[in-house]
Structures are given as C-alpha cells and as structure tokens.
Structure 1
Amino acid sequence: MKKKTFDEVMKESSVTYEIYANMIDDGNRYEISDGVLELMSPSPSFTHQTLCAELLFKLNSSCRDEFIIVPSPIDVILSDTEVRQPDLAMIHRSRISIISNRGINGAPDLVAEITSEHSRRRDKVKKRIVYAKYNVPEYWIIDLSNFTLEQYVLDGDRYELIEVYAGEETIHSKTVPCASFSMNEIVQSLPVQPEMLD
C-alpha cells in the first residue's frame, strides 16, 4: 500500500487502521475516532511526562509480575476504525496474546489518561464513552489541575465513578489489586515540583 500524506488521509470517507498505519510520518501523533483521524493536542507538558514516568515506575514496582504496563505512544487498536493512544495501558499477563508488534489489539485491563486543559473534554467525555464501549474494565483519569485520580469501573456498558483519590488516600483497584500508592507519593516523587514551573 502506498504511503499517504495527512491531507490524502483526510479525504478518506472512513479511516481504518491500515490507512493510518501507512501514513507518511509527519512527526505528529494521531488517533482514530470512529473512522475519523484526529490530531492529538500539543506535546505533553513536563509535569505530564514526569508524572507519567513516576506512575509507570510505581506500577512496575508492584505489578510487573502480573501485568505488562506500557506508556504512550502505543496504539490501542479497539477496532479497525477506533485506535487510541492512552498515556498508560495495563494488560494482565494471562492476556498477552492481545499484544503484537503493531500495538495492543483489543481492550487492555486498565487505561490511564493524564488530562490537561487541552485534553480535558476529550479524556473525560469522549474517551470515557469509547473505552466503555470497547469493554476496558477500568479507566483512570489523572487531573493535573488538582492532582486527583478519578477511578471509573465498567458497569454493563458504561462506567461508574467509583472514587476520586487525592492527597494521602491510597488507591485500590479490583482490576489491578497490586496497585497501591497515593497521589501525594507520585507528586512528591516528581523531579521538579509543578509550582516551580511556569
């Protein structure tokens, strides 16, 4: 298949994973939302990236024997016309067959998005609907504006907000029982404290 430019792909009536995977790399990151190619927001902030690294470190410390934990960018191919790149995905080792070189083929056990002012609506509304539709058992939204973790658990075909963790409260998850940390632990581990950055 001939590689296509972004402009050529945008002319397609429905963008599939195959079209997306054969785009010319223009240095941008994209997702496919119901067959529509979407440019992701500007590069993540320093705090976003370091918080993601600390979360990855914490989860690897306690969960790596049971789960494979993958940070973005990684394609989570939920269907041929729905491809997402969550900040973090966790797949139980008993489901390793959904992992391939191209990405994760199907629903991870847990996805996490670290939201900012640029991505808040997409993470809290659009992605929450999509991850529920494709049966991702648990969804975490970490909000950088107040350093909280919203924990959504699948109930039928939609998510129920189970808990909002902040400060010293220890995060507990039935989906990922090995996870045990507080938001304060994560924030205090950051190499540069957020209030020191403009």
Structure 2
Amino acid sequence: MPVVLSDRIYTVEDYMKMDDGRRYELIGGELFVVPSPRPKHQKVSGRIFYQFENFLRNNNLGEVFHAPIDIVLGKHIVQPDVIFIAKERLDIIGELNIQSAPDLVVEVLSPSTAAHDKKKKSQLYLKHGVKEYWLVDPDAKIVDVFKAGEQEWRWVGTFDQDDILNSTLLPGLEIKLIEIFQG
C-alpha cells in the first residue's frame, strides 16, 4: 500500500480534516491510500456482512458494520472490511466513527493491501484489544481465524469452502463458507 503525504507526522485531527475524495488510513503518523476494492473483494465482504447482519437481526448480541467506517485506535485510524461490536460495548460507537477496538475484525485481502493487513493492521488490532481477527483470502477461498492471546495472536485454524465458520463471540452464528466464496 503506497504511503502518501508522508512529509510530516499526521494526527487524528489532520485525518478528520481530509476532504479530497480519497479514503485513507492513518498508521504511525503516515497516511495510507485505501484503494478501491476489486469486485471479488466486494462480493466476499458483502456476503460476510450479510451473514452477520441476518444473524444479529434475530439475536441481540451487538452491531455489525462494513467499510468504509473509521475505527479510531489511539492515534491511528483504520477501515476494516467488516467489524462486530458486542452489545455491552456499543457505547464506543460515536457519531463520526468507532472510538475503540471492535470485538471482531474481518479483513478481506487484496493484492495491494495483504501485507499491510497481515502485519501493521494486525499488530494494531492486537495491541488495542480486538478479540478475534479473520483474514479472508478470496482468491485462495480460505479464512484464517486468530484469537487474541496475551502478547500475540493465537491461530485458531484455516477454513475453506467445505467448512462452516463460527465464533465464540457470536454463539449460534454459522457461516457456510461455500456461500461466501461461490461465484
């Protein structure tokens, strides 16, 4: 992901004033352009969001959001593809953004952002209290699931289109990955 406007250290306040039509993420004082996702990326992230939304409509466990939405993590701002916030933490939802780490973050990998999502953003999510992290590879048709440990992510497993994905954060949620990756 190319760095832009790295001529100085940018702050959350600087980010909030950005109004040039581009999407950015702010990490370590640098602004990163968030490129438009590919159609396959959009299909997969939309299907994941839809599964969460349908499940949460019938179960009062919290709220789900999808990109673009700003997540403020201290002096950083990121835009994950899909997030879940448990109902007991809904107070982190502000008028302009989410003001703390969501409980679950889903990143759908794109060639231009995969390394960024796997390293920089993953480290931020762990540091700021995300409990569960899903890395979705739409090309390989797999999902890697991680749970927060004390100092690092604990790998739960790799799931493919033959599997049903669930989360301890959302008891009863079952996502048939064949439905996420089809077509």
- 1:162 paired to 2:152: no
Runs of 4+ in structure 1 deviating by more than 3 angstroms, as ranges, are: 9-12
CA offsets, 1:153-173, max 9 Å, x none? 000121111111102211121
> Number of residues paired by the alignment?
178
Compute the displacement of 1:62 (Å).
Answer: 1.2
| Runs of 5+ consecutive residues of structure 2 not aligned to the other structure | none
Instruction: State the TM-score, normalizing by the size of structure 2.
Output: 0.91
Mapped to 2, the partners of 1:172 and 1:53 lie a distance apart of: 17
One-letter code aligned to 2:107: E
- Alignment map for 1:140-159 (pairs within 5 Å): 140-159=134-153
One-letter code aligned to 2:44: L
The alignment yields a C-alpha RMSD, in angstroms, of 1.5
Task: Give the structure 2 partner of residue 139 of structure 1.
Answer: 133
Quick one: which of 157, 161, 168 aligns to 1:174?
Answer: 168
One-letter code aligned to 2:139: S
One-letter code aligned to 1:114: V
Compute the displacement of 1:32 (Å).
Answer: 0.6
Quick one: which of 45, 54, 61 aligns to 2:54?
Answer: 61
Task: Give the structure 2 partner of residue 20 of structure 1.
Answer: 15
Mapped to 2, the partners of 1:179 and 1:63 lie a distance apart of: 9
SS at match of 2:117: helix
Mapped to 2, the partners of 1:44 and 1:10 lie a distance apart of: 23
| Runs of 5+ consecutive residues of structure 1 not aligned to the other structure | 1-6, 194-198
Deviates more, 1:148-157 or 1:170-179: 170-179
CA offsets, 1:179-198, max 9 Å, x none? 2112112123xxxx2xxxxx
Compute the displacement of 1:38 (Å).
Answer: 1.2
Deviates more, 1:125-134 or 1:103-112: 125-134
Quick one: which of 44, 51, 67 aligns to 1:72?
Answer: 67
SS at match of 1:89: strand
Instruction: State the TM-score, normalizing by the size of structure 1.
Output: 0.85
Contact 2:64 2:83 in 1 (8 A): yes
Task: Give the structure 1 partner of residue 179 of structure 2.
Answer: 185
Q: Which has the larger radius of gyration?
A: 1
CA offsets, 1:125-152, max 9 Å, x none? 2211111111100110100121111101
SS at match of 1:100: coil
Contact 2:132 2:146 in 1 (8 A): yes
Mapped to 2, the partners of 1:62 and 1:168 lie a distance apart of: 20
Mapped to 2, the partners of 1:175 and 1:122 lie a distance apart of: 25
